[in-house]
Amino acid sequence: MAWIVLVVSGVLEAVWATALSRSAGFTRLGPSVLFAVALLISMAGLAYAMRTLPVGTSYAIWVGIGAALTVGFAMATGSESVSVAKVLLILGIVGCVIGLKALH
């Protein structure tokens, strides 16, 4: 169960990071509220997962999922440029997340 919660929390990290970007410095209500809600749930999920999983592994997976999805979403929506190098590096992050899970 902790692994599922950790993955969902990583996805929510990407949600709050994207919402933060779209909040325009907290001047737009919708993205600001989404940021706050996603942040709270994401942190609560990370804390829950850390009750049974090692802190280093939990945090690395949480950040890796969040980072890969945030930049992937930005590239998919045209907010960020796409390049072969970026895609390969993101795949490297995903590979490291999978490797950490496999080792645990």
Distance between CA atoms of residues 74 and 59, nearest Å: 22
Q: What are the extents of the domains in the chain? A: 2-103
Q: What is the pLDDT of residues 18-76, one digit of tens each?
A: 999 999 999 999 999 999 999 999 999 999 999 999 999 999 999 999 999 999 999 99
Distance between CA atoms of residues 70 and 54, nearest Å: 24
78 phi, psi to nearest 5 deg: 85, 5
Report yes or no: 16 and 39 within 8 Å, Cβ to Cβ.
Answer: yes
Distance between CA atoms of residues 45 and 7, nearest Å: 9
Q: How many CB atoms lie within 10 A of CB 91?
A: 11
26 phi, psi to nearest 5 deg: 65, 25
The predicted structure's pLDDT at residue 104: 80
Distance between CA atoms of residues 55 and 95, nearest Å: 19
pTM for the model stands at: 0.91
